[in-house]
Structure 1
Amino acid sequence: MTPLNLKALLPAAFAAASFSTMAIAQDDALPQTLFTNVHVFDGLNEARIENASVLVEGNLIKEVSTESIDAPGATMIDGGGRTLMPGLIDSHVHLNLTGLFTSFGGAEYAQWDGIGAMAAANARDYLMDGYTTVRDACGQGDAMKKLIDQDVIVGPRIYPSGACIGPQSGHTDWRSPRARAEGGPVSQVEELNLAVVADGADEIRAAARRNLSYGATQIKLTVGGGVSSELDPLWSVGYSVDEIKAAVDVAAFFDTYVFVHAYTDETAQLALDAGVKVIDHGQLIKEETVKRMVDEGVIWSLNTAGFSPILFEHPNFAPGTPSGLKLAVAHEQSKDLIDLVKKYKPKIVHNVDTVLSTLDQGRAHRDFEKYQFADWFGNHAMLVSATSTGGELAQLTGQRNPYPEKLGVIEAGAYADILIVDGNPLEDLSVLGAQPKWFDAEPREEGFETLRVIMKDGKFYKNTLD
């Protein structure tokens, strides 16, 4: 038998191994998309980055440059001089509470399959309007979020809050009279974990932990009265500092945060005293509280559409109705709101807060909220609230954050959540659907023709430029 010449075989073996390694590396290379000929709104600055290119690799942005980017294997998309910007972020949505019932009492009779189907429809509708991330402010665990992340259904990234936690006779006590009675049955809204009644620090602590066990990324408390609810006066105070702090401590143990439903100055101050980092609504707060929020870096989730006189045209808020009477008081006591925001420039996130509405009404509400906020505070402020500041809010979830990279910005290392729109939204927000009509708006189809590209997590969900 002829002996093997090992020295002669070794170079060939190494060459084969090297070729095999290169082949594996090529197979494992992340896909790239190169957007060229775009003007970039980066989510922060008022001036666009002119004549730029943006390279996406995998699900992240790899490079933003005004020089040409060398990416020979990338899928090329010519933006045609349009605006490339971050996906929108709505930091106060209710995907489970829109489309099935017209009052919160109706939630007591809703069925789980209808709620789930409507939530899935709402999620898709948000994404096709350019919202690539939402914070669900009441009613969702992480089940639908997981299905979206797995591409089973279409929708935005979701930061779920679980059930709203509130006191008896508070803003989120939606139980039927029978369920509210001493020894009554467990309510439907509590069985479905849409909202839960918790009185006292121990019950609040337990409810917060239960929400976290259902996948909540942050905790919501209703610490004061609301406009659209039935059992609570607008001026009511639901929780003490110690009760609010019970939830804040639970959230801190899980390295996340608590946000509160609070309209009045008193309830906002109680929440701040307890260590709350985010105030939702707050339209009735006073100058001292706005200044405190700015000094302490508190984020304000402020919705402006609800303080337009147009809201009185909705049947639920018509003059003389219980909610209409509360809305009139809220309008009277919020006259300083615009001036205070302009004076102190707090960190504000985009908050549409659509509830108890049809799909068409939800679309009109989103369009009007963009218009109303921009009309008060300018296009740039509106866009920042719906991009980079929303991304900053997402980071408050700390180690609980399911999406730990940056959101709401166009920069290297951020998630590739990207829109390309006709024109310049810094000058004309109508390219993102903003318009001055609300209840009298003509029903429209899903999405906008001016929204040419929707990319979320590096994947195209719409592309009319290819």
Structure 2
Amino acid sequence: METLASLTAIAGFVSLAASGALAQDALPQTLFTNVHIFDGISEERIENANVLVEGNLIKTVSTDGIDAPEATVIDGGGRTLMPGLIDSHVHLYATGLVQSFSGLQAAKWDQIGATAAENARDYLYDGYTTVRDTGGMGSGLRELIDKGIVDGPRIYASGAAIGPTSGHGDWRNPEQRTFNMGSDDVANTFNLSYIADGAEEIRKASRLNFAHGASFLKLMAGGDVSSELDPLWSVAYNVDEIATAVEAASFFDTYVTVHAYTDETVTMALDAGVKSLEHAQMVSEETVKRIADEGIFWALNVAGMDPALLDHPNFSMPTVKPKLEEYLVGSENVIEYIKKYKPKIVHNVDTVLSTIGFGRAHQDFEKCYFAELLGNHAFLVAATSTGGELAQLTGRRNPYPNKLGVIEEGAYADILIVDGNPLEDLSVLGANPKWFDAPARDRGFETIRVIMKDGVFYKNTLE
């Protein structure tokens, strides 16, 4: 009998210890109550709802009460709960430090790194919980953010943009533009831009990017408005060369995006198998239909189509103004084509070579102008769920494999609570009709009351 009693006591002790261990291991919970949900997709909010977060994931979304006695309860007060914003075209390493590509050649590595960290904080506290960096270094900053050392959004990085000699990615000073490019090219040294001529150099540059932790690749497939050496109509790579990068990316289970504006360069990129486009405003109706039919993701920055750019000092220079005028004429019908065929558009601000203050104004204007052209709902979808879909294209290179940009069970707990209804009024997210003449503002918006990323509060003014 003593043996049986001893065994019973031991079993009870083990049971208590196990239950204690389970209690210690239980994930923290946050229960958001009394909110109206924009889920990242729907045209109407889910009224009078509740959301339970467990750990770093959304556990339950319901219009009924949620039983979670151990949860921290946040009363939303009838405000809108929505996914954190996603900017799918940023340049963390080329904003806030210099205002020209030539100036970048004089930058120090620690200046570039510190500025990138400051830009990352700016995005997070403006409500962006994920960004896609389309030309800059590798995974180092992302790793610091993921460890909690630096505040910032999730980062999907392309690593160095890949382009040819005299292409949009050739940022060297005139004395550096020789047949034997030296190691004094800052863009190359710091993995901001690789100059690659021909298939084998493209293949090597692609693999260097993956060695530095890139999640996807970006190629400069054609010319640009603001850079010096490449006419807007110029073609950077042929189909076979672009296909080399596509193959290199496929070997790493991810994809290629291209910088391209014209119908010719976009068509060549699609023929080569790219899955994503940056800019591409000068395409024909036929090509827009193809983009939609093939499910290609399109990072369209509509602010670049504002005729007010002609009054900006940088774009009114004799070397740039003719390119801008050509671009504005070439893009005048693209919004109508987009409305007709409804391709997958993702939010693209593309702030580069500007002060952080001007970058904020650019971001705020992009939201407003996008909504003016395509509607509030279209902007919100582009800046949430469609951006989250694009993130999933990185396959096994994806540093964040769960869903992003949606409020649904199993998605990452990247959440904003905002005053008002952004489906009706985007000013609650900072949208502003002013751009160059916008007054300076501080980081963040009072109307964004809660910023949660990965289940962690970075702002909460509702408590």
Q: TM-score range by the shorter chain?
A: over 0.9
Matched with 2:127 is 130
After superposition, what is the alpha-carbon deviation per residue over 1:328-385, rounded to whole angstroms, capped at 9, x for unaligned? 1100111111110111111100000000111110100000000010000000000000
The residue identity in structure 1 corresponding to 2:34 is N
> Which of 7, 14, 20 is matched with 2:4 structurally?
7
SS at match of 1:322: coil
C-alpha separation in 2, matches of 1:188 and 1:356: 15
* Unmatched tracts of structure 2, length 5 or more: none
After superposition, what is the alpha-carbon deviation per residue over 1:170-217, rounded to whole angstroms, capped at 9, x for unaligned? 001001222211335221211111101000000000000100010000
Matched with 2:240 is 242
SS at match of 1:383: helix
SS at match of 1:15: helix
Matched with 1:351 is 348
C-alpha separation in 2, matches of 1:355 and 1:416: 29
Tell me whether 1:21 sits opposite 2:18 in the alignment.
Answer: yes
The residue identity in structure 1 corresponding to 2:287 is T
The residue identity in structure 2 corresponding to 1:74 is A
Greater mean deviation of Cα atoms: 322-331 or 205-214: 322-331
Matched with 1:194 is 192
Tell me whether 1:276 sits opposite 2:274 in the alignment.
Answer: yes
Whether contact under 8 Å (1:178, 1:185) holds in the other structure is no
Matched with 2:52 is 55
After superposition, what is the alpha-carbon deviation per residue over 1:210-259, rounded to whole angstroms, capped at 9, x for unaligned? 00010000000001000111110000000000000000000001110000
Whether contact under 8 Å (2:30, 2:74) holds in the other structure is yes
> Which of 404, 407, 412 is matched with 2:409 structurally?
412
SS at match of 2:64: coil
Whether contact under 8 Å (1:310, 1:438) holds in the other structure is no
After superposition, what is the alpha-carbon deviation per residue over 1:277-306, rounded to whole angstroms, capped at 9, x for unaligned? 001100000011111111111111100001
The residue identity in structure 2 corresponding to 1:338 is I
Matched with 1:212 is 210
Matched with 2:252 is 254
Matched with 1:306 is 304
Matched with 2:322 is 325
Whether contact under 8 Å (1:58, 1:458) holds in the other structure is yes
> Which of 155, 160, 163 is matched with 1:166 structurally?
163
C-alpha separation in 2, matches of 1:72 and 1:192: 50
Tell me whether 1:379 sits opposite 2:355 in the alignment.
Answer: no
Tell me whether 1:156 sits opposite 2:149 in the alignment.
Answer: no
The residue identity in structure 1 corresponding to 2:451 is I
The residue identity in structure 2 corresponding to 1:87 is G
Tell me whether 1:105 sits opposite 2:102 in the alignment.
Answer: yes
Matched with 1:438 is 435
TM-score with structure 2 setting the length: 0.99
SS at match of 1:415: coil
> Which of 218, 226, 245 is matched with 1:228 structurally?
226
Matched with 1:294 is 292
Matched with 2:118 is 121
- How many residue pairs get aligned? The number is 462
Whether contact under 8 Å (2:131, 2:155) holds in the other structure is yes
Tell me whether 1:65 sits opposite 2:55 in the alignment.
Answer: no
C-alpha separation in 2, matches of 1:324 and 1:110: 27
Whether contact under 8 Å (2:137, 2:190) holds in the other structure is no
C-alpha separation in 2, matches of 1:184 and 1:133: 35
SS at match of 2:442: coil
Matched with 1:266 is 264
The residue identity in structure 2 corresponding to 1:371 is C
SS at match of 1:315: coil
> Which of 22, 31, 55 is matched with 1:34 structurally?
31
The residue identity in structure 2 corresponding to 1:333 is G
The residue identity in structure 1 corresponding to 2:256 is V
Whether contact under 8 Å (1:165, 1:198) holds in the other structure is yes
C-alpha separation in 2, matches of 1:184 and 1:295: 42
Whether contact under 8 Å (1:227, 1:327) holds in the other structure is yes
C-alpha separation in 2, matches of 1:122 and 1:258: 25
C-alpha separation in 1, matches of 2:64 and 2:262: 51
Matched with 1:81 is 78
1:139 CA displacement: 1.1
After the TM superposition, which parts of structure 1 deviate over 3 Å for at least 4 consecutive aligned residues? Answer: none
C-alpha separation in 2, matches of 1:418 and 1:390: 15
C-alpha separation in 2, matches of 1:200 and 1:411: 45
The residue identity in structure 2 corresponding to 1:257 is Y
C-alpha separation in 2, matches of 1:51 and 1:308: 39
C-alpha separation in 2, matches of 1:365 and 1:313: 15
Greater mean deviation of Cα atoms: 183-192 or 340-349: 183-192
Matched with 2:448 is 451
SS at match of 1:169: coil
SS at match of 1:340: helix
Greater mean deviation of Cα atoms: 305-314 or 108-117: 305-314
The residue identity in structure 2 corresponding to 1:268 is V
The residue identity in structure 1 corresponding to 2:352 is V
The residue identity in structure 2 corresponding to 1:216 is A
Whether contact under 8 Å (1:205, 1:250) holds in the other structure is yes
C-alpha separation in 2, matches of 1:77 and 1:68: 14
SS at match of 2:105: helix
The residue identity in structure 2 corresponding to 1:121 is E
C-alpha separation in 1, matches of 2:343 and 2:409: 27
Matched with 1:342 is 339
Whether contact under 8 Å (2:450, 2:459) holds in the other structure is yes
1:90 CA displacement: 0.2
The residue identity in structure 2 corresponding to 1:209 is R
SS at match of 2:88: strand
1:101 CA displacement: 1.0
Whether contact under 8 Å (1:104, 1:174) holds in the other structure is yes
The residue identity in structure 2 corresponding to 1:192 is F
